[in-house]
């Protein structure tokens, strides 16, 4: 039903909420007015859902995460409320372009990469499935930094999404919780009492998370840090202006900025403060809700499933024990048991540098009572498991993975391979003690955003073939199987992909001044820059290919566009060097008249969710080339496959499961297995041997080290090449030849439309299992014991 007056509603918001005259309104004004008009349509449903959950006394899922990488919200809300036609009609009545309005919204970039985006997909699926849930995190004033390039080098600038009116959030002035840091633990009447030295307030901000067709909505509650008391008027009056504002600045620092470190090293005091800040606020909030709804404390696990997204909120274990034992008088053993009944923990990486450890000194200084409780938890665990050696502390550090494991009733990995490796490596001893605790829940992605909304052409084709049921039941994509043998369907499939590529090519020309041939193979690697993800393997293959084309410019080359995007952690020098090299190679290769019909290279700046939504539907080939055993799961791999871009990849993370489902003939596999990498790494001189055995690799490395891509600074990549010819921990050299060969298999397949399009379409038809709805159902059944409720 089209409400002819939706445009009036938008105009009313423009005038009465923004105080702007339609004749003078900017695109931004209109976008905000539209957001408010759309918001009006979801608030009733949102309040009704929270009322229904309360009335039913439902078990709530609480998802604690340092990161929620949600991206734009307007389009999500329009799509899930099925307002597309209404909005389009209203905007065209107002003379506005829907695309321009939607793209005006800044991304909420409150995350680094996969871990944060997974949390966002989970929130969407929880709402679409009707599971009462609250996501808890931090309302960072500055999300992930904005990336640009200056002479090919990454430059970071602060991101400041909150300088604009954030239409989707509601500040809850009545939800302000007090938290402490530091101080000491004293004994009073035989009980430990923590007297904190420093206090801050956690202020709640709620954002509705609306599910498919608007049937259910949950809340994302983000905390900002505020001072206990406002401004110090006394000091101000005494003329001490800076000091008057000091307490405020200190408190606000806690929620100021997202740490941009992804899976790289951290360990900063402020980070621990952030972790405790949002975890403690969330647990207080959870207990308040529980106590409000009535019930014996021992029944908490029946009402609250608290998921820890990695170890970042792992302090939840001791904090919940403290709240139950110290503050509510539950005996310690029972408090530990009760906390464990609520808590579960997801591990997202086995990379040693990302396994959080906090120094006992820092912990004792910031959280003295928690340090004591960790020791008590450790002792209780040791007593229950005599003869087994697992310590929560070692070498003066608290090991957060072990702490999270011991305090959780379930621990999960994020792909089958990753879960197996968890059992064999970092948690081997704990797994022997608790053989039923580790479970697998392979990641997933929400089909609403990553297919239905991002790829309307393909969505229309699918819906035309099998109806619209797939959007909330992605397994239905399997019923496309007969269409895969229908030439008309395959034609339409290819047409949709070509149109997406033409759109991307037009945008690349307009936004970045780069022209590409839309008929070329679009080969895309988009993700954080990390050695284990091996963007440098990709660029070395690119260099080798360029050299080969130059040597034989009239060969039967299959035109390719190599597209890279991704940010490097600001302190990760090697990752930044990879970016620099790719940009340098792009400069030389794109300017080469001999080759540029066949090969273009580009590194798009400031990768974010919105850019991913633009690139993935237009990709032909998905690069998932991590060193086997290092990528816990990946979720980009799933989005590409769903959108009909076959994978070139290693047997790593969820690639393994994608290949199992699409079929080995529809996946370009290469490289060593996780087991083989361990053996290879032990071989002395493995890199040099690999280089000696492959002249293409040797030639590419030589070109880099001789300054072919850095003619004014010939030694720029000496260190880079030295790293690869030296220890090459991530085995770039040893996997190069296999990667090269796989790329040539890609060329051959792409050159034959009769091979390529069925392969692409099979990737779509066979990857419905990677819906985050499936993942969430798995968590509900195996971890949370939560069920959807009927909103009526």
Binding region for ligand B1H (CB under 6 A): 112, 114-115, 118, 259, 261-263, 266, 310, 348-349, 354, 414, 443, 631-635, 653
Looking up tokens 């504002």 gives: 245
Nearer to ligand B1H by Cβ, of 584 and 657: the residue is: 657
Query: Which member of 635, 647, 650, 775 is catalytic?
Result: 635
Residues 624, 654: Cα–Cα separation, whole Å: 10
Measured N-to-C along each axis, helices 114-129 and 772-779 cross at an angle, to the nearest 10 degrees, of 80
Measured torsion, CA atoms of residues 432, 437, 440, 445, in degrees rounded to the nearest 10: -140
Closer Cβ to ligand B1H, 67 or 319, answer by number? 67
C-beta of 385 vs 440, nearer to ligand B1H? 440
Which of 543, 615 has the CB closer to ligand B1H?
615
Tell me whether residue 159 or residue 584 sits nearer to ligand B1H (CB atom). Answer: 159
288 counts as catalytic: no
d(CA 9, CA 14): 9
Q: Which is nearer to ligand B1H, 443 or 710 (CB)?
A: 443
Contacts of 529 by beta carbon, 8 Å cutoff, 6+ apart:
535, 566, 567, 568, 572, 575, 576, 578, 579
Q: Which long-range contacts (CB under 8 A, 24 or more apart) does 174-178 make?
A: 175/203, 175/204, 175/285, 176/201, 176/202, 176/203, 176/204, 176/226, 177/201, 177/202, 177/204, 177/281, 177/284, 177/285, 178/202, 178/228
To the nearest whole angstrom, how small is the minimum distance from the Cβ of residue 685 to ligand B1H? 30
Whether the Cβ atoms of residue 544 and residue 582 lie closer than 8 Å to each other: no
Encoding tokens for residue 531? 């050695």
Q: Which of 348, 530, 534, 600 is catalytic?
A: 348
Choose between 86 and 275: whose C-beta lies nearer to ligand B1H: 275
Query: In angstroms, rounded to a whole number, what is the distance separating the alpha carbons of residues 730 and 728?
Result: 5
What is the Cα–Cα distance from 737 to 725, expressed in whole angstroms?
15
- How far apart, in Å, do the first and last CA atoms of the chain sit? 22
The sheet with strand 60-64 has its strands ordered as 170-181, 198-210, 217-226, 133-138, 60-64, 304-309, 343-346, 410-413, 438-440
d(CA 219, CA 221): 6
Beta bridge partners of 563: 524, 602
Q: How far is the CB of 270 from ligand B1H (least distance, A)?
A: 13
Strand bridging mode 621-624 / 647-649: parallel
Beta strands in 326-464, from DSSP E residues, in sequence order: 343-346, 357-359, 393-394, 397-399, 410-413, 438-440
**Least distance CB 618 / ligand B1H (angstroms):** 22
Minimal distance in Å, beta carbon 67 to ligand B1H? 7
Distance CA 722, CA 568 (A): 20
How is 517-537 classified by DSSP, letter by letter?
Answer: -TTSEEEEEES---GGGTHHH
CA within 13 Å, CB half, 47:
6
Catalytic residue among 437, 449, 639, 766: 639
Q: Give the nearer residue to ligand B1H in terms of CB position, either 262 or 378.
A: 262
Which tokens hold the place of 106?
Answer: 């800044």
CB neighbourhood size of 37 (10 A): 23
> What DSSP element (H or E) covers 223?
strand 217-226
Any idea of the CA torsion for 341, 343, 348, 351, to the nearest 10 degrees?
-90
Q: Which is nearer to ligand B1H, 14 or 638 (CB)?
A: 638
Nearer to ligand B1H (CB atom), residue 601 or residue 615: 615
Query: Which tokens belong to 517?
Result: 């041939």
CB-side neighbour CA atoms (13 Å) of 139: 23
Told to judge if 635 belongs to the known catalytic residues of this protein, a careful annotator would answer yes
CA atoms within 13 A on the CB side of 21: 2
Closest among 452, 443, 484 to 465, alpha carbons compared: 484
Q: What are phi and psi of 99, to 5 degrees?
A: -60, -45
State in angstroms the smallest separation of the CB of 583 from ligand B1H. Answer: 24
The closest residue (CB) to ligand B1H is 114
Nearer to ligand B1H, 115 or 602 (CB): 115
The residues near 44 (Cβ < 8 Å, ≥ 6 apart) are none
Contact 774, 128 (CB under 8 A): no
533 in active site: yes
Q: Which is closer to ligand B1H, CB of 86 or CB of 657?
A: 657
d(C-alpha 175, C-alpha 205), whole Å: 9
CA 430, CA 446: separation in Å to the nearest integer?
A: 33
Is residue 263 part of the annotated active site? The answer reads no
- Catalytic-residue membership of 528: yes
The catalytic residue among 312, 410, 528, 600 is 528
Q: Do residues 581 and 704 touch, judged by C-beta distance below 8 A?
A: yes
Q: Please identify, using beta-carbon distances, which residue of 168 and 770 lies nearer to ligand B1H.
A: 770
Name the β-bridge partners of 217. Answer: 210
Where in the sequence numbering do the catalytic residues fall? 348, 527-528, 533, 635, 639
């Amino acid at each position: 039903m089209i409400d002819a007056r939706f445009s009036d509603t938008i105009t009313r918001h423009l005038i009465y909420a923004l105080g702007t005259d339609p004749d003078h309104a900017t695109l931004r004004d209109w976008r905000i007015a539209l957001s408010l008009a759309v918001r009006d349509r979801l608030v009733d449903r949102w309040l009704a859902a929270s009322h229904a959950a309360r009335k039913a006394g439902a078990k709530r899922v609480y998802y604690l995460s340092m990161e929620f990488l949600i991206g734009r919200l307007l389009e999500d809300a329009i799509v899930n409320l099925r307002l597309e036609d209404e909005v389009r009609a209203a905007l065209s009545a107002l003379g506005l372009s829907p695309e321009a309005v939607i793209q005006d919204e800044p991304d909420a970039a409150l995350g680094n990469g996969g871990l944060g985006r997974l949390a966002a997909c989970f929130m969407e699926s929880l709402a679409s499935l009707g599971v009462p849930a609250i996501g808890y995190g931090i309302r960072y004033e500055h999300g992930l930094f904005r990336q640009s390039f200056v002479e090919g080098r990454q430059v970071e600038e602060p991101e400041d999404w909150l300088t604009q009116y954030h239409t989707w959030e509601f500040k809850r002035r009545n939800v302000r919780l007090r938290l402490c840091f530091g101080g000491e633990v004293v004994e009073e009447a035989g009980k430990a009492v923590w007297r904190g030295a420093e206090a801050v307030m956690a202020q709640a901000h709620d954002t509705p998370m609306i599910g498919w067709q608007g049937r259910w909505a949950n809340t994302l509650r983000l905390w900002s840090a505020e001072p206990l008391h406002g401004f110090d008027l006394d000091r101000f009056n005494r003329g001490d202006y800076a000091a008057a504002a000091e307490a405020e600045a200190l408190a606000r620092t806690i929620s100021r900025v997202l740490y941009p470190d992804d899976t790289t090293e951290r360990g900063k005091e402020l980070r621990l403060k952030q972790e405790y800040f949002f975890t403690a606020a969330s647990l207080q909030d959870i207990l308040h809700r529980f106590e409000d709804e009535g019930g014996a404390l021992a029944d908490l696990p029946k009402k609250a499933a608290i998921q820890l997204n990695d170890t970042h909120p792992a302090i939840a274990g001791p904090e919940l024990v403290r709240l139950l034992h110290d503050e509510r008088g539950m005996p310690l053993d029972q408090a530990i048991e009760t906390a464990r009944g609520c808590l579960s923990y997801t591990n997202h990486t086995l990379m040693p540098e990302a396994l959080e450890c906090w120094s006992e000194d820092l912990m004792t200084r910031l959280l003295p009572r928690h340090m004591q409780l960790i020791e008590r938890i450790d002792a209780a665990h040791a007593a229950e498991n005599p003869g087994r050696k697992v310590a929560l502390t070692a070498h003066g550090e608290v090991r957060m993975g072990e702490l999270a494991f011991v305090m959780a009733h379930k621990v999960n990995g994020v792909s089958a391979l990753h879960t197996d490796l968890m059992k064999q490596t970092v948690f081997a001893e704990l797994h022997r003690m608790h053989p039923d605790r580790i479970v697998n829940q392979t990641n997933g992605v929400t089909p609403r955003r990553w297919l239905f909304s991002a790829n309307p052409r393909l969505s229309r084709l699918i819906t035309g073939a099998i109806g619209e049921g797939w959007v909330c039941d992605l397994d239905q994509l399997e019923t496309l199987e007969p269409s895969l043998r229908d030439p008309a369907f395959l034609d339409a499939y290819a047409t949709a992909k070509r149109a997406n590529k033409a759109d991307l090519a037009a945008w690349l020309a307009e936004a970045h001044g780069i022209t590409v041939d839309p008929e070329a193979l679009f080969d895309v690697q988009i993700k954080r820059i990390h050695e284990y993800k091996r963007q440098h393997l990709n660029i070395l293959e690119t260099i080798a290919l360029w050299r080969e084309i130059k040597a034989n410019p009239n060969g039967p080359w299959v035109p390719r566009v190599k597209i890279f995007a991704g940010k490097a952690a600001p302190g990760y020098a090697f990752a930044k060097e990879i970016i620099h090299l790719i940009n340098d190679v792009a400069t030389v290769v794109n300017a080469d008249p001999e080759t540029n019909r066949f090969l273009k290279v580009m590194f798009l700046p400031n990768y974010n969710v919105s850019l991913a939504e633009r690139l993935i539907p237009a990709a032909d080939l998905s690069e998932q080339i991590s060193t086997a055993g290092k990528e816990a799961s990946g979720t980009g791999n799933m989005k590409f496959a769903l959108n009909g871009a076959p994978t070139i990849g290693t047997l790593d993370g969820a690639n393994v499961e994608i290949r199992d489902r699409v079929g080995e003939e529809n996946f370009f596999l290469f490289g060593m297995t996780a087991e083989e990498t361990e053996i290879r790494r032990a071989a002395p001189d493995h890199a040099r041997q690999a280089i000696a055995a492959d002249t293409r690799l040797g030639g590419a490395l030589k070109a880099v080290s001789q300054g072919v891509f850095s003619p004014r600074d010939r030694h720029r990549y000496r260190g880079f090449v030295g790293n690869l010819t030296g220890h090459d921990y991530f085995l770039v050299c040893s996997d190069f030849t296999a990667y090269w060969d796989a790329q040539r298999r890609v060329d051959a397949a792409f050159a034959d439309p009769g091979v390529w399009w069925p392969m692409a379409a099979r990737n779509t038809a066979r990857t419905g299992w990677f819906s985050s709805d499936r993942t969430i159902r798995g968590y509900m059944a195996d971890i949370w014991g939560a069920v959807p409720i009927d909103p009526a």
